[in-house]
Structure 1
């Protein structure tokens, strides 16, 4: 039973007992006159109604606070309960809003550190794949070629096949290293990186195209990395889960020096499924640069991922959260 009904029923019991006492041993006349009973009953009803209305008004801030507690999500910050009235309820609401703001700040700080460590680990693994595994496989290719040139014809064919298998493995390792550490982003910039990333996901079953509007405002390197990672995660989700035949990546300028990223496909959509680690990771990255991230169904079906960011403050916010 809610607090409202507990207080209301307690008050109602007290009032009913008082009326019964007035109608029984504690009364102004014996026997009870009809007019007195009518007045007392009408007064009881009026008091109960007034009690219910006043309790509903007085406890409304608690109901709003409860709703905010239920729907609060640290990955979707900004939800606050309006502080109304005075006294303990107002203090409770203010304390909850302050606690929520503190939790959001701590979550952003911890996410910044975790994602910074993740990017460093990605760079380390990519470097080791390129330097260690890549060089080893390259040496194996040369040895296989050397052996194939001197082997008899039946063995030579097997060695040629081994060469092709090793070359395919080397290409796959290089592809993984590029996804772990987008060197093209550092060397050629976001535009070329997004086009190259989109081209990697293009297959015979999936048409992937990048549309980039020229004349975008300059973006900080940290902001470009977040845009790249969110586009990468969106394309990965489309390729793995969406059952789509078309995916588009749009990067365009928006009013007030903002930049918008849109990843849109014609797949089956996300429906009512719970958000997984991939979407949660995108929300955490968006929070780091103060970007607005929206994920939902497109106007013609499929899934749309929309990100809006202001380039001149995002890098400072990211560095502040990562400290």
Structure 2
């Protein structure tokens, strides 16, 4: 029976019972009204109101749960679907809402995959241009400066050496940016070497010391999974360098409960009540892309911990 039918039926039953009680019972209404009659009628009206309130409360309880789910739904943080409890339109509404969430998550996953693929392709293109165009140009400038300095007098040679150092520092920065845009070490040497290089590179900046622990029994992973793990570690260390005001960080990759787990923890100021920015949203999108779980927390000792758990499929473990 529909929700409308149940409410209408109960109201009809209550009114019929009340009318029968007035017709068949000994209760009468005098003129003027007696206090006893007022109490009896008031009690009856109160009973009708209580019965209606209870029916509406229990009948609409599934809708309250659905309302809370709608308010807290976040496509970047999937949660278990609501059980389709209730009857009639209520259960159908919950099933429709669950189907809508499934469709939205699937569409978002497809869109995120396309966007991230395009992003990686653009990063590779920019890194290639930085390496081939800007890098080679700066290298040529360095060679020309060296040639001119060899034929200049001492005072001019000293100034040219300063220009050489500035140009060499710019070339190193261009190469570092190109490596961050396109981690060639990940494609050539694998995830373990790439994470070690990332930790070493991050330790050279902003006075941050990064220690890494990478278990040797990491199973072979899909290239897309390795890229997601690398990008999450990269973004976590970038956030640590820019925002955490930390002096130490740890990068740990290990196998735990049939999953490859990446943990990046620092001793900074923690995430507090600050809203999640584009970097964290990007990490969540990448995690959803490979069916992984991403958690951010502030451990009891302070700082921030980023944990990425990637389920390992059986073929990969073999």
Partner Cα distance (2:218, 2:203) in 1: 25
C-alpha deviation, 1:39, in angstroms: 2.3
* Structure 1 residue runs of 4 or more that deviate by more than 4 Å after TM superposition: none
| Conservation of the 8 A alpha-carbon contact between 1:289 and 1:314 | no
Residues 108-151 of structure 1: per-residue CA shift (max 9 Å, x gap): 00000000000000001001111111111100000000000001
SS at match of 2:296: strand
Residues 42-61 of structure 1: per-residue CA shift (max 9 Å, x gap): 22222222221111111111
| Conservation of the 8 A alpha-carbon contact between 1:72 and 1:79 | no
Out of 230-239 and 301-310, give the one that drifted further: 301-310
Partner Cα distance (1:87, 1:313) in 2: 42
SS at match of 2:138: helix
Partner Cα distance (1:127, 1:311) in 2: 33
Partner Cα distance (1:311, 1:90) in 2: 36
Alignment partner, residue 282 of structure 2: 281
Alignment partner, residue 170 of structure 1: 171
Residues 67-99 of structure 1: per-residue CA shift (max 9 Å, x gap): 111100010113422211222222221111111
C-alpha deviation, 1:198, in angstroms: 0.7
Alignment partner, residue 4 of structure 1: none
Measured at CA, do residues 186 and 60 of structure 1 come closer, stay the same or move farther in structure 2, by a change above 3 Å?
same
SS at match of 2:84: coil
Alignment partner, residue 117 of structure 1: 118
Partner Cα distance (1:138, 1:216) in 2: 39
Alignment partner, residue 127 of structure 2: 126
Give the number of aligned pairs: 295
* Matching of residue 156 in structure 1 with residue 157 in structure 2: yes
| Conservation of the 8 A alpha-carbon contact between 1:220 and 1:312 | no
Partner Cα distance (2:312, 2:121) in 1: 23
Measured at CA, do residues 104 and 217 of structure 1 come closer, stay the same or move farther in structure 2, by a change above 3 Å?
same
Alignment partner, residue 100 of structure 2: 99
Normalised TM-score (structure 1): 0.86
Alignment partner, residue 220 of structure 1: 222
SS at match of 2:260: strand
Alignment partner, residue 231 of structure 1: 233
SS at match of 2:66: helix
C-alpha deviation, 1:37, in angstroms: 2.9
C-alpha deviation, 1:299, in angstroms: 2.8
Out of 217-226 and 46-55, give the one that drifted further: 46-55
Out of 283-292 and 50-59, give the one that drifted further: 50-59
C-alpha deviation, 1:214, in angstroms: 1.4
> In angstroms, what is the RMSD of aligned CA positions?
2.2
Out of 92-101 and 189-198, give the one that drifted further: 92-101
* Matching of residue 29 in structure 1 with residue 35 in structure 2: no
Alignment partner, residue 310 of structure 1: 311
Out of 36-45 and 184-193, give the one that drifted further: 36-45
Partner Cα distance (2:95, 2:314) in 1: 29
Normalised TM-score (structure 2): 0.88
| Conservation of the 8 A alpha-carbon contact between 1:269 and 1:297 | yes
Which ranges of structure 2 fall in alignment gaps of 5 or more residues? 1-6
SS at match of 2:313: helix
Out of 62-71 and 199-208, give the one that drifted further: 199-208
* Matching of residue 245 in structure 1 with residue 243 in structure 2: no
Residues 287-321 of structure 1: per-residue CA shift (max 9 Å, x gap): 00000110111231110100110243899xxxxxx
Out of 43-52 and 162-171, give the one that drifted further: 43-52
SS at match of 1:73: coil
Q: Which has the higher contact order (CA 8 A, sep 6+)?
A: 1
Residues 73-84 of structure 1 correspond to what in structure 2 (within 5 A)?
73-84=74-85
Which ranges of structure 1 fall in alignment gaps of 5 or more residues? 1-6, 316-323
C-alpha deviation, 1:30, in angstroms: 2.0
Partner Cα distance (1:275, 1:86) in 2: 39
Alignment partner, residue 4 of structure 2: none
SS at match of 2:302: coil
* Matching of residue 294 in structure 1 with residue 295 in structure 2: yes
| Conservation of the 8 A alpha-carbon contact between 1:68 and 1:79 | no
